[in-house]
Structure 1
Amino acid sequence: MEYRHALVRRPSPRMGEGLVTHIERSDDVDPDLAVRQWESYVEAFHRAGWTTDEVEPADELPDSVFVEDTMVVYGDLAVISRPGAAERRGETVAAEAAVAAHGYRIAHIEAPGTLDGGDVLKFGGRVWVGTGGRTNADGVAQLRALLAPLGAQVVGVPVRTVLHLKTAVTALPEGTVVGHRPLVDDPDVWAGHFLEVPEESGAHVVLLDGTTVLMAASAPRSAELFRSRGLDVVTVDISEFEKMEGCVTCLSVRLRSRPGSA
């Protein structure tokens, strides 16, 4: 059976104090609503047949709910990130413990390299890494060296208009890369495999299985576009996280390979 496990982390009551870079800070983040939305997000995984594990909460770290930024998982290897924002580097300790408990080998991005997991898009043996914001060239080089023995091709992609690469683009189950054109610096990176979506949050999908995507409720036209392509679409309201530049991808780490399995 396919291994379908996700690491998640409960939002901090201080989430509204987190970092924002490309949007105006909202003064009305509702921490109680954020918890309810997070619980609905987790439940969407459960309904799709996934198991979830909670990384130890970190109330003192406002951005800790965005657990995807703490690592890059490829095959049986978990590369623990070194976040580009120094304020977020404490988030990786408990996340590393959680993924190690699943039996993954552990490696680390070391100084002076920086890398956020949200800058990494993986599909079909290729790994695109956004550079220019939270992730630097040294971080990309270290990731390339760590993933090369696993056969991955790592490609750097400049990111200037959004926080992370996966704020701009993600991939559908068959490999088409989707993005909201005003926020994609260079769609020619995926020439012939790029699909423009009508809403910013329509660019963010989590693959639940080979025909099902999870996405934000704030992109109904994009959802209809995906349905017209034969996909099943699950939507969740993540409005409080969107106020902090969050999206459906950054709220979990998806584990799809069981370490040590054939």
Structure 2
Amino acid sequence: MTTTTPQPTPAAPSRSGVHRVALVRPPVARLAEGELTHLERVPVDVDLALTQWRGYVAALGREGFTTIEVQRADDHPDSVFIEDTVVVLGQTAVVASPGAESRRGEPLEVESVLTQLGLDIRPIELPGTLDGGDVLKIGTTVYIGRGGRTNAEGIRQFRVIASGLGYSVVTVPISKVLHLKSAVTALPDGTVIGFDGTVEHRELFPRYLPVPEEKGVAVVVLAPDAVLMSSDAPQTAALIEDLGYRVVTVDISEFEKLEGCVTCLSVRIR
């Protein structure tokens, strides 16, 4: 499988650091072999997935992000879900320790790019495990899903790093979804949105708004007044627009078959 998507050379960070950069990674031919936890396996159209991925990358570019394409990882079917490999806290990159053994090699190339960008690298080390999809940042509070991919030791290591950077960490037990951000994300004003059928321990979130569609729970914050979300949640998009936000939608149906969402497909450095 080939892609014509350009691969920018990471730019040297400015004095104020790296901002408005999104790391992405193209889907591989073995995409359909990706790990599944809560969904039944169904056919995945890899060619369509590549087209959708290009549309996603283009949407980020139109919104002012510089996209950097990390080298394709042909031996890792899940590698397109690059968010799971790292959590960015300001100008510090906490390199993840994937909970699925099949994904353990994914962070290597991502870490190399982040090092070139000049970010401070802090790793989570085994036996600790932590997936980036379990980490939701809202201001200086970080919520971490404790489930099948992120364990207590991974959270302990992350808390040490994050607290040293001025963040507080709240652990959220999860069992109904793969990652915390499969159940909840946050609007630019910090309001947590989720689908009631999959949200657990909503009392942990100071402001919570239920949305009408399960595929509407995931948003990528583009700007203080704009979000990116799946095109397969029109009722939720209308709700968010009614709150005064501009909504950009993208078709990611092939990735949703693999428990992916819009947050999974990039690492944003704001």
TM more than 0.5: yes
Q: Aligned residue for 2:136? A: 121
**Following the alignment from structure 1 to structure 2, what is the Cα–Cα distance between the partners of residues 116 and 73?**
12
Matched AA of 1:15: L
Matched AA of 1:20: L
Q: Aligned residue for 2:24? A: 8
- Residues 115-154 of structure 1: pairs in structure 2 closer than 5 A: 115-154=130-169
Structure 1 residue 19 corresponds to structure 2 residue 64: no
**Following the alignment from structure 2 to structure 1, what is the Cα–Cα distance between the partners of residues 216 and 71?**
30
**Following the alignment from structure 1 to structure 2, what is the Cα–Cα distance between the partners of residues 49 and 72?**
21
Secondary structure of 1:115 counterpart? coil
Q: Aligned residue for 1:260? A: none
Superposition RMSD in Å: 1.0
Structure 1 gaps of 5+ residues are 257-262
Secondary structure of 1:183 counterpart? coil
Percent identity between matched residues is 55
Q: Aligned residue for 1:259? A: none
Secondary structure of 1:19 counterpart? coil
**Following the alignment from structure 2 to structure 1, what is the Cα–Cα distance between the partners of residues 256 and 32?**
11
Superposed CA deviations along residues 70-117 of structure 1, whole A, max 9, x for unmatched, are 011101110111000011011010010111111101011111100000
Secondary structure of 1:250 counterpart? coil
Q: Aligned residue for 1:197? A: 211
**Following the alignment from structure 1 to structure 2, what is the Cα–Cα distance between the partners of residues 74 and 113?**
19
Superposed CA deviations along residues 18-49 of structure 1, whole A, max 9, x for unmatched, are 100001011x2011000000000000011111
Structure 1 residue 55 corresponds to structure 2 residue 70: yes
Length, aligned pairs only: 254
Secondary structure of 1:128 counterpart? strand
**Following the alignment from structure 1 to structure 2, what is the Cα–Cα distance between the partners of residues 116 and 15?**
19
Matched AA of 1:86: E
Structure 1 residue 253 corresponds to structure 2 residue 267: yes
Work out which of the residue numbers 150, 155, 158 in structure 1 matches 2:170. Answer: 155
Q: Aligned residue for 2:58? A: 43
Work out which of the residue numbers 92, 97, 103 in structure 2 matches 1:88. Answer: 103
The structure in which a higher percent of residues are helix is: 1
2:195–2:211 contact (8 Å) kept in structure 1: yes
2:147–2:179 contact (8 Å) kept in structure 1: no
Work out which of the residue numbers 175, 181, 184 in structure 2 matches 1:166. Answer: 181
Q: CA deviation at 1:3?
A: 2.0
Matched AA of 1:71: V
Secondary structure of 2:68 counterpart? strand
Q: Aligned residue for 1:79? A: 94
Structure 2 gaps of 5+ residues are 1-15
Q: CA deviation at 1:60?
A: 1.5
**Following the alignment from structure 1 to structure 2, what is the Cα–Cα distance between the partners of residues 157 and 66?**
22
Structure 1: 4+ residue segments shifted above 6 A: none
Work out which of the residue numbers 70, 83, 96 in structure 2 matches 1:68. Answer: 83
2:147–2:178 contact (8 Å) kept in structure 1: no
Work out which of the residue numbers 85, 98, 112 in structure 1 matches 2:113. Answer: 98
Q: CA deviation at 1:176?
A: 0.2
**Following the alignment from structure 2 to structure 1, what is the Cα–Cα distance between the partners of residues 19 and 94?**
19
Secondary structure of 1:79 counterpart? strand
